[in-house]
A and B are shown apart, each in its own frame.
Chain A
């Protein structure tokens, strides 16, 4: 960062004023962040070590909330389902986004920009409406079942389309895939197409080109995509709430239920802290994986 060529002021007051300038600019944004973001998070941490529910407000340090989370088989089951569904959705998105980004970056020609704009636009559409649109399609009397029955492919409606793990994974994938594709596209766009020509001249096939050029050079974008998408997948509760059944309950639903239905705020706080911790681990692992890949 180059400093502005301000003539050095010998006046003490002016120098003080300049020293205080960052403070004047930042006091209100930082005040908002500290009051409404940092303080609530600190209270959340304190809360997770207390027995606190709407019926019982005794305070005092306890690890019970965490002990319940790690020993209760119900949470273990929900955690397993959540990890399974979030990971499957993430893998599906990467499988779609990698070739798609490659196509947009190198092959789409004049369709490159319209495709990108469509990817960006979908981000501004209401996520709940997008989930709802899928629910309308997938239902027992939904359009997909109607259509399949009408062309004679099925005799009776498919029941597994909605309120199952399938619908949750499908809707999670389509809700987030634009966030997966954009950073990967950005990192692929930086790859020089000459590299592909050189590799092809040296006899590398498609598979080798992807393994030795595309994936390593797109690794930073894949890292950003995982941070942007995999982490929110763990805390999504609107998708399982609207298109998931009892078998596709996720940890985000557990947090929402603990807070709003059971009123066990200590438990809800502890669970969301555990989720935050898991996310920190995921980001660190993803970061190091992207670094490792670059060294290859």
Chain B
């Protein structure tokens, strides 16, 4: 198929667009259109499409613009919340990693120092018969027992639990 549009197509298209075809058209141009295939196609197709457009536009019942407006506002708000929440999520992940690191470091430290607190746990059932004398001999007060290591471990676990609960509740 040869691509050879007529030089008068623009003239015809302008008349069609302005609604002046065929009433306000020169007879000479009308004669040209009836003889030129390209211009004839243009007139036929444009007239048909313009009629179809007004027919379609006339039949449709459009909804309320306010509903779309609020829908868009809601979507924008959600997108903004998501955008703001992204660095917070990053911070949560960072906190989680730091806590895990503390726990691992604590366990490694305890393993290196003979897990002294395990001995204390083994002796815990005997605490039923706990007396003041026993308490004074308790490994808790034993200088070998590293009480200071237990406190950070408990704090880490509490913190980790808090983060886990916060993450779970936020997801819900």
* Bind each other: no
